[in-house]
Structure 1
Amino acid sequence: MTDTRYLVHGVFWPAPPDGTVGADVQPLPFLRLQAPDGTFHNVTLDAGTRLGFRLAAEGKYCLGHHVVHGPAHRDHVLCAQRAPAVRGHQCERCFVVDEFRLIHDFHRDGRVPPGLRSYLMQPHWLYVATFANGASKVGTAAELRKWQRLAEQGAVAASYVAHAADGRVVRILEDLVTREAGLPQHVRSAAKAAALASPAPAGRLSGHNAALAASARGVVSRSGAGGFQVVEEVWNRPGLAGPLCSASPRHPYPHALAAGSHGLTLGSLCGSFALATIDGTDLEFVVDLGQLKGRSIELGQFTSKVPAVQEALF
């Protein structure tokens, strides 16, 4: 794949075969790349993987849009113009026709296309996720993405608090927990990456998450709403995330992923965040590979520039 420009669609975690993660079942994430002819290539990201690339163009480009046909069937329509991104990772046209953008208002007005309605009417899970500095959020996951949703967000600890009959009910519960328990529905990627440079002890984060989850269960239990069951279930973090989520000397990656050449040897991955080394130094760095989403890269034997004064990183 060397010397070819690829459009990065992001870091994805596959679902475990039976929906659970254990000592013998550890899904490996991958970097999804779109070739110029529209085909996709997946680069598996595991401990020991070397990822060398350089930015092939400035700015970010549109990743297309989705047409949803049902819970397990959707079409990913590539941007016909491969236009610059102007709204998130989409051009204006792809943003307007993307059906997934309608999800967050479904519980308010119910006006969505039939395929998306079928997707939203499957069972959903309400969860509380906690990140490396203790910042936490409430969120939702469709039945088929119960585990991946949390894996791709880079959670360090998480708990499921309710199992809802459909996507309308779960979003009503989500808004209720935000309003009554003060849990936000979003934590910025930059904050997650910064926290992983100095993560809190895992036991403390697990205890904090358990307390917030208990509070959320209390809120939904007292709501008087129907169509859901309160659950007490802990999410199992992927084993590959362990080293990155453990307290050890590491530093924020000193180079922006918007330009230049980079060479990373991966040691651990949590969501889109990697613990990696670079040639010429023994230091470990936290790298947000999510910053590559929407960017054009060329793969190859590229390297990262070693910081001129390494002591300044301490």
Structure 2
Amino acid sequence: MELASDFRQLCHGISFSEHEPAPMLRLRQAANWRTEYLEPNRVLSLEIGDLKFCLGYVTMNKDGSRNTLPCPKTKALRTGTQCDRCRRMDQTKFMHHFHKTGEAPEGLRKYLEQPHFLYIASFAHGVTKVGTTSTQSKWSRLAQQGAVIARYVARASDGAAIRILEDLVTEHVGLSQQVRQKSKIKGLSSWELDYAQLDAINSEAAERSREFLGSQRGLDTYGVELRDELWQQPSFAKPVIEAWDSRSLHAWSSALPGSTVNLRIRGVLGQSILADSGENTTLRLLDAAELKTRSVAVIEQHGDFKEEQSALF
């Protein structure tokens, strides 16, 4: 299904930058981008569309920078974030297989030439993954993923070398490369672990990964150096982690698509927003990944709202 899109403001999710004061809800209407800063204590309403739409595709410039282009036909989706046509045109798809095939556009090759890092990230339900990030997104990559604890375990001279290490750690240490967003949200509101337990899990997985990599010969010829560096969690994520650790966080109980939600922002962790209805009301976690690909209108509000009723009570 194809629909006219000039009037539709689609959500591209929450993005992060060390140089910005707060996480940013990124919205796009045709060629115009809009940024809504998710500062603590901001009070707003979100009018969320029911349908999902293709968010377009990415092309790479010769200097390694990116262009995010809108879907030419703004196709409606059932799943995912791209239609088949945009998925085929997206040049970042070569990134995950370049170390095996050697195939990539010039701009992506430029991006992959910079140093990259290997990290071990853990999430609230205890699932731990291995991942890679470039120098320019070293901090923001983990912020965007919503890691509760993470450690960098290696640095390589380029992106191809670091992805070889990623595959080796998956194969020999047993760490996956993906964690589903819904499981991250469920872990934060199910209270299976606390922060100290999760830190021990992450530390042990990072140590096993370093020990394995350290046993491999010839890493220095690929510009690889082992590291033991703790990722610094952003301040705006700490209220979410503290609420999870103290078991005072509850899941957002009502469906988001096709609804209007009122919230006072208390913190942001990855693609989730911690919110309440005012002082001494229940802390709830909204899965902002549900906003991505949908039309979203942001309306500034003042004062407190009537507290959402949870299915828990």
Normalising by structure 2, we get a TM-score of 0.89
CA distance in 1, matches of 2:189, 2:174: 26
**Inter-CA distance 274–173: structure 2 relative to 1 (3 Å threshold):** same
Pick from 187, 191, 199: which aligns with 1:206? 199
- SS in structure 1 of the partner of residue 51 of structure 2: coil
8 Å Cα contact 2:46-2:296 kept in structure 1? yes
User: Does structure 1 residue 85 correspond to structure 2 residue 81?
Assistant: no
8 Å Cα contact 1:84-1:90 kept in structure 2? no
**Inter-CA distance 86–169: structure 2 relative to 1 (3 Å threshold):** farther
Question: How far off its partner does 1:123 sit?
Answer: 0.9
Q: Deviations over 1:174-222 (max 9, x none)?
A: 0110111110101110010111114432222222211110111111111
Tell me the residue number matched to 1:269: 268
**% identical aligned pairs:** 35
User: Does structure 1 residue 149 correspond to structure 2 residue 130?
Assistant: no
Question: How far off its partner does 1:225 sit?
Answer: 4.4
Question: How far off its partner does 1:100 sit?
Answer: 0.6
**Inter-CA distance 254–279: structure 2 relative to 1 (3 Å threshold):** farther
CA distance in 1, matches of 2:155, 2:85: 35
Q: Partner amino acid for 1:193?
A: I
8 Å Cα contact 2:119-2:154 kept in structure 1? yes
Pick from 52, 56, 79: which aligns with 1:64? 56
Greater Cα offset, 273-282 or 175-184: 273-282
CA distance in 2, matches of 1:255, 1:304: 15
Q: Partner amino acid for 2:74?
A: R
Q: Partner amino acid for 1:293?
A: K
- SS in structure 1 of the partner of residue 68 of structure 2: strand
- SS in structure 1 of the partner of residue 199 of structure 2: helix
CA distance in 2, matches of 1:188, 1:79: 25
Tell me the residue number matched to 2:166: 174
Pick from 5, 10, 30: which aligns with 1:7? 10
Tell me the residue number matched to 2:23: 29
Q: Deviations over 1:66-119 (max 9, x none)?
A: 111256512111112122236621111110010111111111111111111111
8 Å Cα contact 2:257-2:291 kept in structure 1? yes
8 Å Cα contact 2:53-2:75 kept in structure 1? yes
8 Å Cα contact 1:262-1:304 kept in structure 2? no
The 5 A counterparts of 1:153-164 are: 153-164=145-156
8 Å Cα contact 2:214-2:226 kept in structure 1? yes
Unaligned runs of 5+ in 1: 18-25
Runs ≥4 in structure 1, deviation > 4 angstroms?
Answer: 301-308
Normalising by structure 1, we get a TM-score of 0.88
**Inter-CA distance 92–305: structure 2 relative to 1 (3 Å threshold):** farther
Q: Partner amino acid for 1:219?
A: F
Tell me the residue number matched to 2:252: 253
CA distance in 2, matches of 1:54, 1:89: 20
Tell me the residue number matched to 1:22: none
**Inter-CA distance 237–97: structure 2 relative to 1 (3 Å threshold):** same
CA distance in 2, matches of 1:70, 1:286: 40
The 5 A counterparts of 1:1-314 are: 5-14=8-17, 16-17=18-19, 27-35=21-29, 37-56=30-49, 58-70=50-62, 72-85=64-77, 88-199=80-191, 200-226=193-219, 227=222, 228-246=224-242, 247-248=245-246, 249-278=248-277, 282-300=281-299, 306-308=307-309, 310=310, 312-313=311-312
8 Å Cα contact 1:177-1:216 kept in structure 2? yes
Q: Deviations over 1:118-154 (max 9, x none)?
A: 1112111000001112211000001110000000000
8 Å Cα contact 1:130-1:137 kept in structure 2? yes
Q: Partner amino acid for 1:52?
A: S
**Inter-CA distance 290–219: structure 2 relative to 1 (3 Å threshold):** same
8 Å Cα contact 2:43-2:300 kept in structure 1? no
CA distance in 2, matches of 1:73, 1:46: 28
